[in-house]
Chain A
């Protein structure tokens, strides 16, 4: 194991974090809501793929795409059921609803999928081990960052060049004014949730390939960590979320690699980082300062 190997692993983990963090940051940007259930949407994405690959005759790559779309729709429905009725209520109320939704999905997962871990049916292509300059690792470690970058390019195009993307940015800049300008808020919010959940599902599928063990509670820790990644990057900012994801992924892997004595504290690393960031620069690395209005 050399340092290059660790960095490769870190980048691959960081890309997964980045994909999930984008969903958090987009939702927060528009609704100012921590979507606590986002980590559980990620879990659903992985499980839907599992059942799709094992119990349908559809080729795996189509299942992957379908699963991501279905998960996206679930995310959209989640917003309609749990968050939309509360629009305009105090933020704490919506936050409690989000916590309730997250708990609901986790326990529904236990009821429907069973508490026992399931082995993810990884297509053989991904298991190929490749060796580049002494770094030997599964093909998936390289595929994850590539997929992430491709999706990011598509997302950036969508947000900067299309009309819907422009409406999205307008909403996150100024919710009230944007709604007065004839933007269909419900549609934009639905699209935001769809995209966020779609990306989380892609993250979930690739997570399943890299760590092939599915559990109903598998989304809790990555969910929390990715929210932290979004905060580190400056919440509401998509580039920031990606940078935050990479900082967290690389930092975590390197912490374990360079200081093996702290391996047990791996899960605490993200939280320590969060608290440091909040104390030093609460708006995150790329965030803008918002003045307090009376």
Chain B
């Protein structure tokens, strides 16, 4: 059974690799960029699903952690002259201005700093229950953004950073995505994952079974923040420019959309919905912009795209209702009845 699973996973990875290699050679730059975004959104969707779907903590702070990751990668990988060019309003802190790391350590650092912040935030906030937690994490992500606007000598404030080396390619984004899938898959198979799910199903029951609620919640939150930071870092290196307005609540909303449509606590679903939604977001971009058909111009309506996506989200929520959270309890009960 286990061997079969490993072999299947290996085949899956190799197939993905071959597919990426072919697509990388066939597609044009714009489509490759979308493919990269798909990989990044898989990472982000899974990291939010770990916190919200698997552990049942309702966190809305993803944009904040992504901002931390994105800025870390940007600041660490940008070349020294580029930094001087960016920081014309206020010079950068000399310690950071002279740094120039390569991409991989910068990406790891992005994850680590994000995880550290997640740990520091999580330790006090995770004592709160569902909706308070949602609003507190949302608050923290807003605070992170406000701080980034104000510490001009580190982040260049509201002007943002331009000319970040575009290190993200298909191998980086999809490699990290595959790593994330495997990591979270293994995590959820192991005892930690079982504890996370137990907390989601019933906190009091989990506590009486000897599961340390606080420790596991903080752990899930910290791991989730790590991957959010890595995803943010990859995003920064894909886009080349970042500024604090990018990391508003709308970004968290996109990821939440992926998680809800893919199924809370469902890895496969998240991967599929990340790809579908990323492509749909790009494909429906025409709704916001006007299209020129040669003989006539169809006026686009800005905002229409997100109207559609919010309607989709609400329809899914209303029609799926209780099925939104993938609960294993039913399967377990059925198996128990069968084996008795």
Q: Which residues of A contact B58 (CB under 8 A)?
A: 92, 95
Are the C-beta atoms of A91 and B130 separated by less than 8 Å? yes
Given contacts A95-B58, A99-B256, contact A104 B146 (CB under 8 A): no
A-contact 0/1 string along B116-154, CB 8 Å cutoff? 000000001101101110111011101100110110000
Is B108 among interface residues, defined by CB-CB distance under 8 A?
A: no
Interface stretch (choices A60-68, A131-139, A242-250, A273-281): A273-281
A-contact 0/1 string along B260-298, CB 8 Å cutoff? 100010000000000000000000000000000000000
Please tell me which one of the listed residues A100, A278, A282 contacts residue B310 in the complex, with CB atoms under 8 A apart: A100
Interface stretch (choices A146-154, A160-168, A185-193, A264-272): A264-272
Are the C-beta atoms of B139 and A95 separated by less than 8 Å? no
Q: Which residues of B contact A216 (CB under 8 A)?
A: 303
Is B34 among interface residues, defined by CB-CB distance under 8 A?
A: no
Q: Which residues of B contact A97 (CB under 8 A)?
A: 314, 317-318
A-contact 0/1 string along B237-278, CB 8 Å cutoff? 000000000000110010010001000100000000000000
Bound-complex Cα distance A245 to B309 (A): 33
Q: Which residues of B contact A231 (CB under 8 A)?
A: 132, 135
Q: Which of B281-340 contact A (CB under 8 A)?
A: 301-304, 306-307, 309-311, 313-314, 317-318, 321-322, 324-325
| Interface SS of chain A | helix
Are the C-beta atoms of B130 and A92 separated by less than 8 Å? yes
A-side interface size class: 35 or more
| Interface SS of chain B | helix
Is B204 among interface residues, defined by CB-CB distance under 8 A?
A: yes
Q: Which residue of B lies closest to A82 (CB)?
A: B314
B-contact 0/1 string along A251-294, CB 8 Å cutoff? 00000000000001101101110110011001000000000101
Q: How far is the CB of B189 from chain A (nearest CB, A)?
A: 24
What is A's interface to B at a CB cutoff of 8 Å? Answer: 32-34, 82, 85-86, 89-93, 95-97, 99-101, 103-104, 106-111, 115, 216, 220, 224, 227-228, 231, 264-265, 267-268, 270-272, 274-275, 278-279, 282, 292, 294
Q: Can you name 18 extra interface pairs (CB under 8 A) apart from A101-B314, A103-B309, A267-B146?
A: A82-B314, A86-B317, A89-B322, A96-B260, A96-B313, A97-B318, A100-B314, A100-B317, A107-B310, A108-B303, A115-B302, A220-B249, A264-B146, A264-B149, A264-B150, A265-B146, A270-B139, A274-B135
User: Considering the complex of A and B, which 8 residue pairs feature the smallest CB-CB distances, nearest first?
Assistant: A110-B303, A271-B139, A104-B310, A100-B314, A107-B306, A103-B310, A100-B313, A268-B146
What is B's interface to A at a CB cutoff of 8 Å? Answer: 52, 56, 58, 60, 124-125, 127-128, 130-132, 134-136, 138-140, 142-143, 146-147, 149-150, 204, 249-250, 253, 256, 260, 264, 301-304, 306-307, 309-311, 313-314, 317-318, 321-322, 324-325
